[in-house]
Structure 1
Amino acid sequence: MRIRTALAALSVLALAACGDGGGSTPAAVETGPVELRMTIWSANEAHLKLFNDIAAQYKSAHPNVSVKFDPLPFESYTTTLTTQIAGGNGPDLAWVLEESAPDFVGSGALVPLENLDQPDDLTPAATKLWQSGGKLYAYPFSTSPFGMFVNTDLLKQAGQDSPADLVTAGQWTWDKAFAEGAAVNAKTGTAGIVVRDFDYKTWGNLSTVWTGWGAQAWSADGKTCGFNAPEMVDAMTALHQAVFTAKAMPGPGVAADFFTGQSAMTITQISRASLLKDAKFGWDLVPLPAGPKGKYSVVGQAGLGVLKKSKHAGTAADFLSFFTNAANSAKLAQYFPPARKSQLNAETMAKTNPLLKPAQLQSVVIDGISNGVVKPSHTGSAEIAQNVRASLDPLWKPGADVKSVLDTVCTGLKPLLAK
């Protein structure tokens, strides 16, 4: 049922190209009362406060316009958004996650953004996923590499080396990280490593691990499944052993929140750092461990676009331009690394990221953006996501035949990748 719902909703995106306005620039800002709604995936109070502060500044110049930010659960964000669009209740503006960028950009569901502030300041790497036909259809307001937050107190309690020292010594590898996670669990009973927002459902977040083995979900052209390639089999075997043999990672159904002290390490982005403001334990942020293929970085992206079906597309586009201008981009950089070349340096980012040191921002964020690969994305992302999730379910059990499960994933994916 969830797959059918997602497919029906995504068909609406395809039809959006035939809606009013075509591919043209939306009309100017309206003069009558307007309430814009913008869907987002974060309900974090600090994020919402910043967004509302920016909206209030816009309202001071446009008293007739108010903006409502509508947080949707991350794990079902895209399905909920596309279902809203299918039901005629779509937002005016929306965050679009990188996995669904090809669907939203390619379908014509978004209007082209032609009045952005200082568009030449945007890095080509950050805008690549959001362009079509030479036009930009979503502003890459967050280009955020994943890093490893570590609870230094728990690691010390378990007699483990500091990851920062291991990074300096060139010994920060997945073998070492798994060993430290297992030691923490064995000696303290606390969870070792958590891939945040994975929860044995959102498999795309595992790219933060498997990329270290040189694995990829599919080929660069999106036509060939990569789940049963030797690199992926090795990566998933290492993950399976970490969960079910070494106990370096909590198993299915076990909740462990790093930010409340329930795990020793977690993979996530710097937008989560605000959760450590009142942390009762020592912590650090380091790059992802090196894999058999060496050092690497994985980047999560989110684009902000205006829905063509919006009744207030012109006003929404104007607010988007204000929300992402140079001044507000600098403010948003506190949580969401910017796409602006002028702001992509540790000194500038440190001004709005008081919890993070310049060295942490340089090694995880700046270097990560320069060298990272973006999480998997493909047309038909909703159907692909559901298919892969269901096919991977048998993997998350003790004694699973990793290669056999991954062969099954590719059997299910092959016709979807061929569409």
Structure 2
Amino acid sequence: MKFRAAIAALAVTALTALAGCGDGGGTPVAEDTGPIELRMTIWSANEAHLKLFNDIAAEYKTAHPNVSVRFDPLPFDSYTTTLTTQIAGGNGPDLAWVLEDSAPDFVGSGALVPLDDTLKKTDGYNAEDIAPAATKLWQTGGKLYAYPFSTSPFGMFVNTDLLKQAGQDNPADLVAAGTWTWEKAFAEGAAVNAKTGTAGIVVRDFDYKTWSNLSTVWTGWGAQAWSADGKTCGFNAPEMVDAMTALHKAVFTDKAMPGPGVAADFFTGQSAMTVTQISRASLLKDAKFGWDLVPLPSGPKGKYSVVGQAGLGVLKKSKHAQAATDFLAFFTAPANSAKLAQYFPPARKSQLNADTLAKTNPLLKPTQLQSVVIDGISSGVVKPSHTGSAEIAQNVRASLDPLWKPDANVKSVLDTVCTGLKPLLSK
């Protein structure tokens, strides 16, 4: 635990140190010449994603034969810590995906190159098409420091065969009837586990480590990790206590969710339902079971949506910042944005409609895209983000560990979370 905290602190120091580096504004000032290999860190090792990225890079190389791009997947649950540790060690990438939780650190520290000038000067880029709401998290001082290449609401993939086998209602029917709630979802997950032995509900990429993914559940109770100004801890507020109590009961009493240490992959038929984003839909190409995609269940506070965002930025310390910025403009231009939309909902207003998304998402129906993606983006809240995200993430993860036991006192654990968070939120 102390080692993780030290790494988190190192990550914060690395980003802060970058604020004083470079040319002040951070804009590349010289053209790159000679052979160039750009490295771009990403969190996905999905073969379909990598094929698309490599195809785009190969197309770029036809017009820029001296530039090649290597995509470097890092483990999701340690992505930001690994990335910032690389930066601290002087071997950071040229370009990087930045997850929403660490956006304030990367954008506010001066670690990234401003993109506005390059995007505006790129022929056919049409920067005005980018939705202002999508760029909010990635701007400071009126400048854009990362392109919001994915603004993706979370939905619930369901295995309709398993639910039918367990004698449960089809979630799509419950959505239509207005009775698709977390109470009902937990009940169906518990029934599947009891009658088939298969896991019920899995919050993908949570694994009792990445706690921020639980915001896809607790937001339904009106809970939040901290106040809008980021100064007040929300983990021990009544709404969060109720949400976490419901989750704890679902795991340890009703067995609606697999417990710690139990792996259950929905996409290979090991669970009845999973909370995740449409970028995972490609894993269902050869599915041997019937499936559907529905919005997140309603909570006590009603219907809601949670959005995960990722920005693509160029590191100011890159040795090839000019070439990296040019490739970013190519990677996110209208034609490639449309290609990326099959996995990562675009920030471009002209492409953010069910008909356009359906063309590049053959596995998903226009109605699914409308209800989960389009409607979700219009009403969704972004997952938690804060300055000092790496240190906060490690602190909360460690403080929540005692919660994942059958006899845990939920309120007491959440009080401890806030005790640890208070000094970090006040920085």
The reply to whether TM is greater than 0.5 is yes
Counterpart-to-counterpart distance in 1, 2:140 and 2:83: 22
* Mapping of residues 3-18 of structure 1, within 5 Å: 3-18=5-20
Cross-structure match for 1:185: 193
Aligned residue pairs: how many?
Answer: 419
Counterpart-to-counterpart distance in 1, 2:86 and 2:260: 30
Counterpart-to-counterpart distance in 1, 2:31 and 2:382: 34
Cross-structure match for 1:407: 415
Tell me by how many angstroms 1:25 deviates.
2.0
Cross-structure match for 1:299: 307
Deviation string for 1:224-282 (max 9, x for gaps)? 00000000000000000000111000000000000000000000000000000000000
Which of 130, 136, 145 is the matching residue for 1:128?
A: 136
Tell me by how many angstroms 1:7 deviates.
1.2
Cross-structure match for 1:332: 340
Cross-structure match for 1:41: 43
* Mapping of residues 185-334 of structure 1, within 5 Å: 185-334=193-342
Q: Which runs of 5+ in 2 are unaligned?
A: 120-124
Counterpart-to-counterpart distance in 2, 1:341 and 1:268: 23
| One-letter code aligned to 1:5 | I
Tell me by how many angstroms 1:399 deviates.
1.8
Tell me by how many angstroms 1:20 deviates.
1.8
Deviation string for 1:211-235 (max 9, x for gaps)? 0000000000000000000000000
Deviation string for 1:30-51 (max 9, x for gaps)? 2311000000000000000000
The secondary structure found in structure 2 opposite 1:8 is helix
Counterpart-to-counterpart distance in 2, 1:237 and 1:369: 28
Tell me by how many angstroms 1:393 deviates.
0.6
* Mapping of residues 101-112 of structure 1, within 5 Å: 101-112=103-114
| One-letter code aligned to 1:86 | A
| Runs of 4+ residues deviating >3 angstroms | none
The secondary structure found in structure 2 opposite 1:18 is coil
Counterpart-to-counterpart distance in 1, 2:179 and 2:368: 17
| One-letter code aligned to 2:390 | A
Tell me by how many angstroms 1:3 deviates.
1.5
Tell me by how many angstroms 1:29 deviates.
4.2
Deviation string for 1:170-202 (max 9, x for gaps)? 000000000000000000000000000000000
| One-letter code aligned to 2:42 | I
- Percent of aligned positions with the same letter in both sequences? 86
Counterpart-to-counterpart distance in 2, 1:354 and 1:163: 21
Counterpart-to-counterpart distance in 1, 2:184 and 2:201: 12
Does the CA contact (< 8 Å) of 2:12 and 2:391 recur in 1?
no
Deviation string for 1:343-374 (max 9, x for gaps)? 00000000000000000000000000000000
CA-based RMSD: 0.7
Cross-structure match for 1:91: 93
Cross-structure match for 2:122: none
The secondary structure found in structure 1 opposite 2:292 is strand
The secondary structure found in structure 2 opposite 1:231 is helix
Does the CA contact (< 8 Å) of 1:191 and 1:256 recur in 2?
yes
Tell me by how many angstroms 1:22 deviates.
1.8
Does the CA contact (< 8 Å) of 1:21 and 1:308 recur in 2?
no
The secondary structure found in structure 2 opposite 1:109 is coil
Tell me by how many angstroms 1:9 deviates.
2.5
Counterpart-to-counterpart distance in 1, 2:141 and 2:100: 18
Counterpart-to-counterpart distance in 2, 1:176 and 1:8: 44
Tell me by how many angstroms 1:28 deviates.
5.2
Cross-structure match for 2:376: 368
Deviation string for 1:10-33 (max 9, x for gaps)? 212111121122224213542311
Deviation string for 1:92-114 (max 9, x for gaps)? 00000000000000000001002
Normalised to the residue count of structure 1, the TM-score between the two structures is 0.99
Q: Which has the larger displacement, 7-16 or 92-101? A: 7-16
Cross-structure match for 1:70: 72
Does the CA contact (< 8 Å) of 2:396 and 2:417 recur in 1?
yes
Cross-structure match for 1:52: 54
